[in-house]
């Protein structure tokens, strides 16, 4: 009888552990979620109205830490940006597109410190400009995110220069 | 890499090609462009320490014109001379009929060269 209760107890503990692991998101999942949100908010459908556009612009800024550093081949883009500047820049860039699909692939996440996540990934932008021109760009990015109050924020984004002219 | 390799074509990469040797001038190599899946096929035109430049569409390495029989489309590129840095090679595609600004080329780390096309 005792063995029966013991087995049931062990089984319940195992089920509890599995549930906790499955239900509670790991830090890696939390970081991936931030990329998913960024991808969703940057992307644009042809039916997007002004209200959604303004909301997305505002939302994009909330994913970043102030200031956020951007490093790119194009020196005019490199520098430190505030949330407002990032929102404004994203809004301006999106306004040139009729349709835009921005996705992240191959996310490789490491945690050099408990509150820092380093992510190497592939970013792909497929879109149609308002001028009718098709755009299909792929870049490798190195991103640094910092954890503040259980939330991850983009702190540094570097566009990797694979081919230096 | 047109006309040598058609755009969007399928090929296989021999990853052991540069296990015991270094990429040489005129070799076609697969360069890891992003993540583990996005590769570019490019041709090595200069190695570390060499000066590379384009004058009226012609390739010059260390001041000498290099014959490139694989470039069959018209090219009018001009690029000032630059030195290839340590542990890097200079790669260019064969299709140079497009404006120089729109072409992916330049010096890349040897680590990014993952092999050579099989066909």
ipTM: 0.90
CA atoms of B59 and B78, how far apart (whole Å)? 9
B105 in contact with A at a CB cutoff of 8 Å? yes
A54-107 pLDDT, tens digit per residue, is 999 999 999 999 999 999 987 788 999 999 999 999 999 999 999 999 999 999
Give the residue from chain B lying closest to A165, CA to CA: B106
pLDDT-based confidence at residue A25 (cuts at 50, 70, 90):
confident
B34 in contact with A at a CB cutoff of 8 Å? yes
**B64-65/B58-61 β-pairing:** antiparallel
Compute CA A139 distance to the chain's CA centroid, rounded to the nearest angstrom: 15
For B69, which DSSP code? T
pLDDT for res A24: 66
The torsion angles phi and psi of B57, rounded to 5 degrees, stand at 85, -5
| Average pLDDT for A114-142 | 96
CA atoms of A122 and B15, how far apart (whole Å)? 21
Q: How many alpha carbons fall within 13 Å on the CB side of residue A27?
A: 19
CA distance B47 to chain A (A): 14
B73: tokens are: 């489309």
Contacts of B31 in chain A (CB under 8 A): 162-163
Name the pTM for this structure.
0.85
């Amino acid at each position: 009888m005792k063995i029966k209760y013991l087995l049931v107890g062990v089984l319940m503990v195992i089920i509890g552990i599995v549930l906790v692991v499955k239900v509670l998101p790991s830090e890696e999942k939390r970081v991936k979620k931030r990329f998913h949100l960024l991808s969703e908010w940057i992307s644009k459908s042809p039916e997007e109205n002004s209200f959604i556009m303004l909301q997305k612009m505002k939302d994009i800024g909330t994913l970043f830490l102030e200031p956020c550093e951007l490093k790119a081949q194009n020196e005019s883009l490199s520098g430190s940006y505030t949330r407002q500047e990032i929102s404004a820049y994203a809004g301006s860039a999106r306004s040139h597109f009729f349709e835009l699909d921005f996705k992240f692939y191959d996310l490789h996440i490491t945690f050099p410190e408990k509150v820092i996540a380093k992510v190497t990934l592939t970013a792909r932008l497929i879109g149609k400009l308002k001028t009718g021109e098709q755009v299909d760009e792929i870049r490798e990015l190195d991103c640094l995110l910092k954890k503040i109050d259980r939330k991850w924020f983009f702190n540094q984004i570097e566009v990797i220069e694979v081919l230096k002219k | 890499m047109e006309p040598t390799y058609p755009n969007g074509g399928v090929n296989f990469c021999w990853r052991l090609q540069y296990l015991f040797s270094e990429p040489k001038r005129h070799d076609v190599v697969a360069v890891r462009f992003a993540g583990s899946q996005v590769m570019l096929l490019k041709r090595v035109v200069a190695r570390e320490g060499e000066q590379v430049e384009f004058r009226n569409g012609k390739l010059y390495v260390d001041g000498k014109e290099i014959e490139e029989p694989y470039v069959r489309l018209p090219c009018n590129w001009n690029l000032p001379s630059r030195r290839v840095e340590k542990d890097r090679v200079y790669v260019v595609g064969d299709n140079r009929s497009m404006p120089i600004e729109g072409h992916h080329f330049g010096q890349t780390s040897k680590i990014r060269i993952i092999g050579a096309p099989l066909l």
